[in-house]
Chains A and B, each alone.
Chain A
Amino acid sequence: MVKFTQSQYLFFTCFSHLHLYTNAKLHLLTCFCVFLYTVKSYAQSDSIAIGRVLYMQEVNIPNPEILATNGLTTLLFNTSCSVFIHNGVSSGDSLIKNAEYLFPIKVSGDKEGFPIYKLHTQRTMFCKIDCRQSSQDCIVRDTFGTISWQLQPERRRFGPYECRRATGEFRGRTYEAWYAVEIPVPSGPYKLGGLPGLILEARSLDDRVKFLFAGIDISDKIQDRINPPRNGKNLNMTYREFIEGELEFCKNFEKEARARGSRTTVTLTERIELTNE
């Protein structure tokens, strides 16, 4: 007997009555069912974590918003999902002085810590990002586990775990990751993952991006919940569409500024991901 999950059952039930509706209503119902399925799959049950990895994020990029996320980060995980949280992010927006800029820079804060929520089986992740297209932070859908890792022979020990090395290219940067096969969870810091073990430390080969191992807890007694990002605008876009939307927003801003007589050029500052493929 094939066992349906709750969301699949809903979809199946809706489909069994489709023949009673006109085309327009059929389209509407299909959208509704797809929407419900998407909501259900996105709002995966708030799971309890069985492990927690602490990383010290050190990103050396001239982008004040990225620099503000540096510091301690946490990855909560279980077998089916995980969430990466920036603990060092302030809960509210703040203005900072920067010697490189004439005017102060607004740096966004987030109570949830700009989480990156990963669903291991669906190979999907939902990332909360500060964006210009919306007054709220944006929740963007991305694919997970698509890095083509080359498994290397080097080994290194992190506590009781003997980790192996892998290298792979992700959106313009080549990363080196140390993963523990004894922890069979295909996740890691930031958007990295897809290895046959949990990534305990990762860094880019240009040394600009580092996630240094700071600690790990694995226990049944961890009561932390793996929550998807909540307070933000779900753009229902892929990362590529999101970046294109940001560029479009900046171009429109430039045009409006020039129409008002101001010679303005807007460029997006460098991010951890250099490309959007």
Chain B
Amino acid sequence: MARVIPILCFVILTTTCLPSQVIFSGHLYDLTGNPVFLATVIVTDCKDNQIIAFANSDEQGAYRVSFLTDCDSIAITVRALGYQEQVRQLALHRDSVEQDFRLNTAALPEVTIRAQLAPIVQHRDTTEYNVASFTDSTEFSVEDILKKLPGIRVAENGTISFNGKPVERVLLDGDDLTGSQYTIVTRNVRADMISRVQAIERYQENPLLSAVDNSDRVVLNLKIKDDKRRQLSGSVTCGPGYGQEMKGSVHTNLFSLTERNKTYLIGNFNNVGENPVGSVANFSGDNLIRRNAGQNLQARLINTRSPVALPRLSSLPLPDAYTRLNRTGLLFIGQVAPLSSFFKIKASGWLTRDRLEQQTSAETTFRTLNTSFQIGEDQLSVLNPRQYTVQLESTYLPSNQRHALRSFARLHYEPGHALLTLNRSATDVPLLQISQRVTASPLDWMAAAEYTFSRTSHTVWQITGRLAGYHNPARLYAQYPVYPSFFSLDTSFIHLDQPVDLYQNRGIINGKLWSTRWNTRWKLEAGLDWELNNLEAIAHLENGLGEQRPTGAGFENLIRLQAPTFYGRWSADRSWRRLRMFAEIKGFCMPARWQTASPTVHRTTLQGIEPLVLFEYDFNEKNTISTGYRSRMERSPCINMH
């Protein structure tokens, strides 16, 4: 008996203190008696509301949950989307409990939460800015956002740089529709359309070259907000006002972004001093002369600088809106149409019309002890530049990424005329009147096509053909009372008439081979680059009766130049951690022919070899030291006529 009692006590104590297995089961129905499917049944204990078991109901609404607990009661909670939550406190008297629930329907609670994403995310060569982290809703255009992003600078004319490197393009959702004239996008797309801005370094348009060609190009990509990707979204903003005259501004963004096509319409009409286009065009980022710019199919072949340029308005230390009157209009239409999964066409066009007027007055007084001398100048400048551009780009890239065919064509017409009048008065001096009228109608076009074949992942072939033309008939008509004495003519010959006709044509056909072997990138290139330039400029003086006198041979220009260049280039590029070595040898032969006003045709042949060796050491992202040797042949001034 003495032995039995401790054993009995032990058995009683253990059985009462051990947690017991409980099984809950039952059915879940809605108010109409239909089973509720995939509802969650949660059992929480009596201590700290901790979940001790859970289960889901099946298609018949049946559930079964088993758990171990030493509590006398538990809470059972039933939840299902579209139904009201039910909670029951149940005492545990048995090991098995049957509990059915009838759930009331409830409207789905509408919830929208956005977490604070990291403001800047670095992913390989892409720096992504979360726009919401940097804006405060005072921004109107994308340019206003870019000015607030660290690492990005926007100049007065709209030029953008990222970490000191010039940005070449601004893409809209991965598509480039404006080329180097990206201010059309940055100054006119509304800030509230954009969710993220990506700065992409080492940008390569042709995916077949991304592994073999070391690009140093930088582009920005604007990601449009998801809720703006609809059949039609956008905004129209307009506002009237009154200043020296009636003022108005109309601004529109209309986007149609579907899975298949993307259409963009941007418009800006104002006379409140806004410049919707800026003056980014022709900046060096688009120039074919830059290293690695050869892969940019849109790169300009011709430096378009006219001998007779439209005069610029004075730049005073005040914003342009305070110093000039304007009537500006911009209309841009862009369309991205993927015709299939591997063929895409992008078409865009824009026209701008501007009328700028500026009036300046200056008066200077010189005082001596007894007298004073005044000089006054009044100048009126009126500019009417216009711009019409159409460009078309197509890309064929099959899914196997072994071939790529890209083409690009652009037509750009930029007529304009300017009128400048200056009245200069001085004490005891007759009034001097000077006027100048300039007209220019430059038309430039270009077409390029490129076929790339990737034989293996580290060997790529490419054939490229490019053609460009530029024609600019311009005229300067000026009136200046000093002309007669300058040209030794009668005093009535005060009008100068100088027509200029510049015609340039350039074409390139080349083949390239890239290869990556022995940790080195090799490149071989050979091709033909030809130029055809023609400049005619004459000047004569007129009197008011229509009589003309020539100004002399010194003021007449006639140059015709033909310069085909046969060239070959070999280069090697290798990096050891922070050190980079680049070596290049270029050989060329240029049989040039040119002719001036005389009938004699001059011929010369330039040929030579130009080596280049370059060493670069990167201390960090911002600091690089480089040294090298380059030999370049001197070209005659005539070859460098532009």
Interface residue ranges, A against B (CB under 8 Å): 50, 54, 56, 67, 70-71, 78-80, 92-97, 102-106, 111, 120-121, 151, 153, 158-160, 164, 181-186, 195-197, 212-221
Contact = CB atoms under 8 A, between A and B. Distances in A.
B15 interface: no
A79 B210 contact: no
B115 A184 contact: no
Given A70-B123, A102-B519, A104-B211, A219 B108 contact: yes
A93 B401 contact: yes
B81 A214 contact: no
Contacts of A102: 516, 519
Interface of B: 37-40, 42, 48, 50-52, 54, 56, 58-59, 77, 79-82, 108-115, 117-118, 121, 123-124, 207-208, 210-212, 341, 397, 399, 401, 457-458, 516, 519
Given A71-B123, A184-B79, A96 B211 contact: yes
B38 A79 contact: yes
Nearest to B577: A99
Nearest to A104: B211
B510 to A, nearest CB: 23
B113 A159 contact: yes
A70 B123 CA distance: 9
Contact of A220 (B40, B108, B519): B108
Given A181-B79, A218-B108, A213 B115 contact: yes
B589 to A, nearest CB: 35
Given A153-B50, A196-B42, A215 B207 contact: no
B111 A121 contact: no
B109 A218 contact: yes
Nearest to A101: B211
Nearest to B110: A219
B40 A197 contact: yes
Counting chain B CB atoms within 10 Å of each CB, the highest count among A50, A184, A197 belongs to: A184
Contacts of A220: 108, 110
Contacts of B82: 79
Nearest to A183: B81
A94 B210 contact: yes
B457 A184 contact: no
Contacts of A95: 207-208, 210-211, 401, 457
B119 to A, nearest CB: 13
13 contacts: A50-B81, A67-B124, A80-B38, A92-B207, A102-B519, A104-B457, A181-B51, A183-B81, A196-B51, A197-B40, A215-B112, A216-B112, A219-B111
A275 B370 CA distance: 102
Contact of A184 (B81, B210, B397): B81
B601 to A, nearest CB: 50
Given A67-B124, A218-B111, 7 more contacts: A79-B81, A95-B211, A95-B401, A184-B38, A184-B81, A214-B114, A215-B112
Nearest to A74: B226
A184 B39 contact: yes
